[in-house]
Chain A
Amino acid sequence: MEVKVYSTPSCPYCKMVKDYLSSKGIDYQSLDVSQDKTALQDMVKVSGQMGVPVTVINGEAVVGFDKSRIDYLLST
């Protein structure tokens, strides 16, 4: 399973998403869109919007800390 989290260092919801994934023992790739322009473009492309965090699980994007949707995508 491929999990990516697009975030900025100052965003509290990003931290919550990462903490949540870690608590479930999920390995994820963390992308800092404040530094990485390509990652920012990818995030906009995959989610169609410009808010962080964006979590991508097997190609499906979740905007914000939406625990139930993250759980659902992790279980499929």
Chain B
Amino acid sequence: MSKIYDLIILGAGPAGITGAVYAARKKLDFLVITLDIGGQTVWSGDIENYTGYQFVTGPELASKFREHMEAFKIEVRMPERVTDIKKEGDIIRTITNNAEYLSKTAIVATGKRPRPLGAEGEQEFKNKGVTYCATCDGPLFKDKPVAIIGGGNSGLDAALQMVKISPKVYLIESGAQLSADSLMIDNIKKASNVEICTNSKVNKIYGDTFVKGIEIEKQGKVHNLNVEGIFIEIGLIPNSKFAFILERDEKDEIVVDCYNKTNIEGIFAAGDVTNVPEKQIVIACGEGSKATLSAFRYLSTHKF
């Protein structure tokens, strides 16, 4: 018979890690299943609103989170992708690409991932010029013309990074104006090598082995831009697809109450994958701790 854990935490971003620290301190017998450690925090640039740190970079804060978790002996399965979660009587079965695990409670803290553009050629040229992580892959496109898709904060973050190392940066936004913070917009407008294309839709991405260009359409007119790198920064979608049994809202976020309970007894959810208002690191941490405390309360009151 397989072992039955008290708790399984899915994900190790701010919510999952905080949940794990609380679970370790409650001495629960638990397991963390995750693809990575730190979640979106590692992609974040400069953080100036996490209490106790007037300034910290995303990777620094993520490694602090990691150290805090590693101070306890926590069983972590990584990298493993959860494909399904089921409730069988009182027991929860978590199925991954690698194995199946049983537990009395679970916390879904799987966060969000970059939203794909859905343009022709996007899949074909993924990692062949198309990237979703400007922080990681930006330096590979030094001295090459690039296009950044998305005029929000993350798009502008990528653009501000690339104008320093690329001869030409196209910033492409489907709406009438950039939606990023005005300070960032002022900064990008100061760069001489940027061309801002608003009201522009991406038709396709093309090339041979690697990206050679992008076709955009602006007010009915088609333009071909010669670029070798394309950074897609059009927001995030929740990693909730595997959670078939959980109630999700129109944004695919898992619906939780203020105790982090989902519609299934014993399954809790926390952080950016949920419908919690505001997606912030400090909020995700708080939600993760709440979820573990709720799971702990359920474990001590429920008869298994």
Contact = CB atoms under 8 A, between A and B. Distances in A.
Specify whether A and B are partners: yes
Interface of A: 8-16, 33-34, 40, 44, 48-52, 63, 65-67
Nearest to B41: A12
Given A12-B42, A13-B36, A16-B36, A49 B128 contact: yes
A63 B136 CA distance: 13
B138 to A, nearest CB: 7
A67 B37 CA distance: 14
Given A12-B42, A12-B59, 15 more contacts: A8-B139, A9-B139, A10-B138, A15-B59, A33-B139, A33-B140, A44-B210, A48-B209, A49-B128, A50-B140, A51-B131, A52-B137, A65-B36, A67-B78, A67-B79
Given A48-B209, A49-B127, A51-B127, A10 B79 contact: no
A50 B128 contact: yes
Contacts of A44: 210
A34 B37 contact: no
Interface of B: 36-38, 42-43, 59, 62, 78-79, 127-129, 131, 133, 135-140, 142, 209-210
A24 to B, nearest CB: 14
A10 B133 CA distance: 10
A10 B45 CA distance: 10
Given A50-B127, A65-B79, A8 B209 contact: no
Dominant SS among interface residues on chain A: loop
A42 to B, nearest CB: 13
A34 B140 contact: yes
A8 B137 CA distance: 7
Contacts of A34: 139-140, 142
Contacts of B62: 12
B135 A11 contact: yes
Contact of B140 (A13, A48, A52): A52
A52 B136 contact: yes
A33 to B, nearest CB: 6
A12 B127 contact: no
A51 B129 CA distance: 8
Contacts of A48: 128, 209
A48 to B, nearest CB: 7
A17 to B, nearest CB: 11
Contact of A50 (B42, B78, B137): B137
A7 to B, nearest CB: 9
Closest 4 CB pairs of A and B: A34-B139, A11-B136, A12-B42, A51-B127
Nearest to B128: A49
Nearest to B45: A10
A14 to B, nearest CB: 7
A11 B129 contact: no
Nearest to B42: A12
Contact of A12 (B36, B131, B142, B210): B36
A11 B297 CA distance: 39
